[in-house]
Every structure is written in C-alpha cells, then in structure tokens.
Chains A and B, each alone.
Chain A
Amino acid sequence: MLFHAEVVAKNEEGALERILRVCRHRGFWAHTLHAITDPIENRLLVEMEGESDRSPLLLTRQLEKLCGVLEVTMGGKRREAAVVAGEHEARGCANQVRRAVYASGSHG
C-alpha cells in the first residue's frame, strides 16, 4: 500500500532522524523524501512517499508521539515539492534539502 505523509515538527536537533527512524522501525519504507527547514518559525517540514503493508494510521500515531512533532497529515493529496518549497522560501527559508531515498528491493 502506498502512503503519502507530511510532517511538521519543531526544528530541533535530531528531528529528521527521529521521523525517519520511526518510519523505518514501524515498517514504512520511504521512496522519496523532501525536507525543508523554516528558521523563522523554527519548523521542519518533511514530505515523503513510500509503501507499507501496515495501516497509515499506525504511522500517524507513532509520529504524533514524538515530542517535537506538531502535525502529521497522512494520505492527503500530494503537493508538488516545488509548491511546498516555495511556501517556505516565501517565509525566508534558505536551508532546503531535497533528495530521493531509494528503498532496497528486499522489503517487498
């Protein structure tokens, strides 16, 4: 089952690692990842797509448990990365990170 998640978190040390670790550990495999920071609001916005055999609700609730996570939107319509980035750039965000994460072929 494919999933699409958007996570807004406080941009604290380790915030991105925590989010990705929860995804992996709970059985959600990211295929693409787009993360940007907003230094004015001190926010981290992570958008990812991937697949899992498990319910997206499980991931939502586990992500919401993380102390710095403010908002999780799961399964919503995917927005173009450029649009998301544009919104944050408009708020003065300069620290944009964009990369693809390729899942290994073994997870099925």
Chain B
Amino acid sequence: MIGADAIIRAIEDEGSDIVFGYPGGAIMPVFDRLLDAKFKLILVRHEQGGALAADGYARATGKVGVCIATSGPGATNLVTGIANAYLDSVPMVCITGQVASPFMGTDAFQEVDIFGMCLGVVKHSFIARSADELYSLVREAFAIARSGRPGPVLIDLPKDISVREVQKPLLYESSRQLPSVESREDSLDLAEIMLRESFRPLIYVGGGVGISQSVGVFRQFVNTTRIPVVSTLKGLGTLETEHPLFLGMLGMHGLKAANYAVQNCDLLIVVGARFDDRATGKLQEFAPHAKVIHMDIDPAEIGKLRAPQVSLCGPLVHSLEALSMPLEKVDWLEQCLVWKEEHRWNYEAPGEGIYAPRLLQLCSRLVPRRTIVTADVGQHQMWVAQHFALNHPNDHLTSGGLGTMGFGLPAAIGAQLGDPDALVICVSGDGSIMMNIQELATLNRYKLPVKILLFDNQRLGMVRQWQELFFKERYSAVDLSDNPDFVAVAKSFGIDAFMIEDRREEIVGIDFLINHSGPCLLHVKIDPQANVWPLVPPGASNTQMMEDSRHVVSR
C-alpha cells in the first residue's frame, strides 16, 4: 500500500460516495488509485467547478464535500471555491497535489505555496509529510471540517508522499480537542426573563440553523413562542416561506415588512446569524430599540459587531429547546402581520416582456416539493431569495458570504449528485453563467437532469443597477450585448434548450424546464432596465428603502 491508497481508504471510511476532481502531474498517483475506489469520481472541467460542486453537494446533503486537484494552477483554481465554503461555513476536504518534497521551495514546475495562500480561507490545513500519517490526517481533516462551525480543510500532498510505501497500520484516533461549548444556565434564565418581559420580540435567523441541522427544533421554537421571524439570505427556508409567522428576508434587498419589524422590535433573538452588513445596513441604526439574545456555535461571532445582552454560545438545539415556551405578544404579532399584508409583492409589471420576479414566483408554485434551487450571483440571486418559495434551507443553495459568480451551475451538479431524486434548478444570469459554463460538459457527461433557468438582460445587472443609482448612470463595463447564443451553446454541449421573451410564453417555458426528462436550459430574455427592489443604499439604515416608481413591486 502506498500513500495514495491510504488517502482513498480514509475517504471510503468516512462514507463519502462522491468526490470531484481534475487530474494533473503531481496528483497522478492519487488519480491512478481512484480507479479502484469504492466511491465515484466526478470529472469536472475546471477545478473551481470541482470545488463549488463539492460545496453544493455538501450543502444539499449535510455531508462533507471532497475535491481533488493537482499542484500549481490546479490548486490556485480551487481557491475561490475554498473561500466560498469558508465564508458560508460549508464542510469540505480539499486535496491538492504538490511537487515532491525535495523540490518544494525551489520554484519547481507547477509549484505554488498553496498552504500559505489558503491560510486565510480555510478552517485548517495540513502539508502531508509522511505516508504513514496520511490515513489519520485525512480522517482528521474530515473531523475538523464537520465539527463546530464547519468549514473547508486543505491537505497539500507532495507527490513523493503519495507514492511512498505505508509502513504502519491504518489507524485513526483523534488527538485534537474539538471545542465544546454549552450555554450557561444563568444565561438561559436571563434569556427567558427577557423573552417574557419583551413586548415586541423578533427572531432573526441565519444559515446556522440549517448548517447545524436544527431546523425541526427551530420550527418548534417558533410555533411554540409565536414570535415572528425574519431571515438572512442563507437562513431562507429555515421557516417555510408560506409560514404565517415568516415576514421575509431582511436587509439590503429585504422585504419592507421584515425591515420594519427589525427597526421596531424591542428584543431581537439572533439564531445562527452574524450581523452581516447586507443584513444590517448601517449597523449603528440596526434594531435601535432592541435588546439582543445571540445564539451561535461560534464564540467569535458573539459581540463581534453587536454586543448582546445575553449570549448563548453552543449548539442551537440546546438553547432553542430550553427557551421554547408559549408567549402571548398579540398586539405586536398583529402589527407585523399588517406590515406583511401592506407590503406584499405585487407581480404586475408594465409591458409585454417577462418580469423575472413573477416567473420565479410562478415557477416555485409549480415545482414538486423536493426541489433544490441554486442561484448564481447578481440580480437573479436576489429575485430568487425574494420570490421563490422555499421549504427548507438545504433547498436553497446560494453564495452568501463570498458572492461567487459562477457558483450556481457547479453547485447544482453537486446537489443533483447528492440528491438524485430532487428536481434541481440552477437560476443564473448571463454574466454568471459564463463564469463556469464549461460545466455544461459535466452535466452532459453524467446525464444529470439539472434545469438551468437563465435570465439574460445582456448586462451585468446588479453592477448596472448600482451604476444607475449611485454612479450617475455612468455605465462602465456592464454591457454584455455580445453574449453568445445561449441556446446554441447549450445544444453544442448536448443539452436541450429553449428561449422565451414574451410574457405569454411563461407557462410553456416553465413546463419545459420542469418536465424535460434530462438536463435543459431555459433562456429567458428580460428587460435590461429591470432592477431589484426594494434597495437599501450602501451605508444607509434599513428604514431607508428605495423603490422605483416605474416598477411597482410593493404596495
């Protein structure tokens, strides 16, 4: 047995069924042994696609995603995907080939210090120095990736280590103290008093509930306390979109009802969220009347941006169960529901063209319950967040922290492989799709029935919107009117495709998208002038929501 065999065995023993990879010189010994592995190797067409597919797989399944690449450019191509996982707390193990140990530090062919480059975007990282340690090192990487607040772990593997004979038996016993924090009883007592004494409590939920697989307990907490809920982008689906206590997403592109509730609450219960600037707007004016109870697994998030009156650091399940109690805040709840009714979406838009929010809302009403929607980054990402009804956070895969254009398609590939029975829809834009369009070849190769809903405004829409609103309509580098023919592109990859541009074609398009038997692409041409509303300008308070009178989106 050589080092490469030990790596394969460790991945097998972790129960992984799929890894994503792209071969090259320094990682060839591992790819040789992958031929005999018990798990499936998915060959992507770019290492970034591999990392983002592993990310999508991990988000959809709750398992650790695995990706493998070679040294040098293979490793650097992984970096965006690793950073994406780090910013969104996704468990991943990323293995990079490295030049042989004697050549490290000599600027050898395809050598980069990927260990050094990734220090700021990994939860932890290793350079393998011995074949005998490889098995336990990989197992340790998995344990670190999934423990506490999850994240990516990098293993840099010099070629000589991967071919060296393993002399010792393959044993793993973690020597690492993984942090274990429990909320203190007196903090729970104080939180309970604050809950009882508050008049206007509000729950602000983030991605942490879904990541920690605490959705059931969270919903029980909400249904018992009857406290209304607002959500971050990554928290969407934690409470079903249609739930009467759900007020919507808060923040920059949040619903007015959600932002009004935050600004008027007197107690904010923060559950697995981190006061991200897209959620809070001007931090000093965020929830100005509220005391804060902050629940999170990561002590570093407590008080990082807003000092709570009570911190409940530890597993969310423990805190949520301890604080589940019936509360009667009827007046406040009624006020929130009035805001929700007053500011619900209006899907009527002028003209004959397709109005993306309406199409998404229609689509989400017609898809089967087990549907996973992945989003790229830009205007369409916000429209998905606003208008696509969700039943679970694992059904909505979006690049929240890093905002990685090109995330949608590879993430959909990972999600479809992780959940073959789900309907997986990738919602993308004409800017984002081009970032990883080579992965259409991966869709075709593995016949993955991913559906791509491509909104095309021939612009980098979100940047164009900001230039219109905040840069005096000086449009710089946002014109994509020379886009390729996306239908022809998809067909050239062996993927069926169809274009619509008229409102009367909406149902036909959605029917094609949902019911096509294999992978397909629906190319939807939309108005280049369409913007995402409402919008809190950068640096402004969440009460300062802009709207455009040309497109009435709320009333």
Q: Which residues of A contact B (CB under 8 A)?
A: 13-14, 17-18, 21, 25, 57-58, 61-62, 64-65, 67-68
Flag if B124 contacts A67 (CB, 8 Å).
Answer: yes
List, in ascending order, chain A residues with CB within 8 A of B116's CB: 14, 17
A91 to chain B minimum Cβ distance, whole angstroms, is 20
CB distance from B137 to the nearest CB of A (A): 11
Q: A14-B115, A57-B303, A61-B300 are in contact. Are A67 and B123 (CB under 8 A)?
A: yes
- Is the beta-carbon distance between B176 and A67 smaller than 8 angstroms? yes
B127 with A13: CB separation less than 8 A: yes
A-B contact count (CB 8 A): 32
> A21-B120, A64-B299, A65-B300 are known contacts. Are A13 and B126 too (CB-CB below 8 A)?
yes
> Among the listed B127, B129, B176, B300, which residue makes an inter-chain contact with A64, where contact means beta carbons less than 8 Å apart?
B300
Q: 0/1 per residue, B115-143, Cβ < 8 Å to A?
A: 11001100111110100000000000000
Residues of B close to A21: CB separation below 8 A: 119-120
Nearest 3 Cβ contacts at the A-B interface = A61-B300, A67-B124, A65-B300
**B304 in contact (CB, < 8 A):** yes
Chain B interface residues (CB < 8 Å from chain A):
115-116, 119-120, 123-127, 129, 144, 176, 298-300, 302-304
CB distance from B178 to the nearest CB of A (A): 9
Determine how close the nearest CB of chain A comes to the CB of B150; give it in whole angstroms. 13
Secondary structure dominating the interface of B? mixed
Please state if B144 and A67 are interface contacts (CB–CB under 8 Å). Answer: yes
A18 — nearest CB in chain B belongs to which residue? B119
- In the bound complex, do residue A58 and residue B304 qualify as a contact, i.e. CB atoms below 8 Å apart? yes
Q: Would you list 28 pairs from A and B whose C-beta atoms are within 8 A, ordered by A residue? A: A13-B115, A13-B126, A13-B127, A13-B129, A14-B115, A14-B116, A14-B119, A14-B125, A14-B127, A17-B116, A17-B119, A18-B119, A21-B119, A57-B303, A58-B304, A61-B299, A61-B300, A61-B302, A61-B304, A62-B300, A64-B299, A64-B300, A65-B298, A65-B299, A65-B300, A67-B124, A67-B176, A68-B124
B126 and chain A: residue at smallest CB distance: A13
Chain A interface helix/strand/loop/mixed: helix
Nearest B-chain residue to A12, judged by Cβ: B126
- Chain B nearest Cβ from A39, distance in angstroms: 16
A68 vs B303: C-alpha distance when bound (angstroms): 23
| Distance of B83 from chain A, by nearest CB (Å) | 13
Complex CA gap A13/B116 in Å reads 10
Beyond A13-B115, A61-B304, 8 additional pairs, beta carbon < 8 A: A13-B126, A17-B116, A58-B304, A61-B299, A65-B298, A67-B123, A67-B124, A68-B124
Residues of B within 8 Å of A64, CB to CB, are 299-300
Nearest-Cβ distance from residue A107 to partner chain B, whole angstroms: 19
Q: Within 8 Å CB of B302, what residues of A? A: 61
Question: Which residue of chain A has its CB nearest to the CB of B140?
Answer: A67
Contacts of B299 in A (CB 8 A): 61, 64-65
A-chain residues with CB within 8 Å of residue B303 when the two chains form the complex:
57
* Cα A99 to Cα B508 with chains together (Å): 70
Residues of B within 8 A of A65 (CB): 298-300
Query: Measured between C-beta atoms, what is the minimum distance from B126 to chain A in Å?
Result: 7
Q: How long is the Cα–Cα vector from A64 to B302 in the complex, in angstroms?
A: 13
Residues of A with C-beta under 8 A to B115: 13-14
Q: How far is the CA of A62 from the CA of B301 in the complex (A)?
A: 9
A residues less than 8 Å from B123 (CB atoms): 67
Residues of B within 8 A of A61 (CB): 299-300, 302, 304
**CA of A68 to CA of B153, assembled, Å:** 13
* Residues of chain A lying within 8 A (CB to CB) of residue B125: 14
Pairwise interchain contact A25-B120, C-beta atoms closer than 8 A: yes
| Central interface residue in A17, A25, A57, A67, by most chain B CB within 10 Å | A67
Q: Which residue of B lies closest to A57 (CB)?
A: B303
- C-alpha gap A61/B299 in the complex (Å): 7
A65 to B304, CA, bound (A): 13
A18 to B124, CA, bound (A): 9
Complex CA gap A21/B126 in Å reads: 16
Smallest CB separation, B157 vs chain A (Å): 13
Nearest chain B residue, comparing its CB with the CB of A10? B176
B335 to chain A, nearest CB (A): 36
Report chain B residues within 8 Å CB of A25: 120
Chain B residues with Cβ below 8 Å from A58 are 304
Chain A hits for B144, CB < 8 A:
67
Q: How far is the CB of A42 from chain B (nearest CB, A)?
A: 10
CB neighbours of B129 from chain A (8 A): 13
Residues in B with CB closer than 8 Å to A62 are: 300
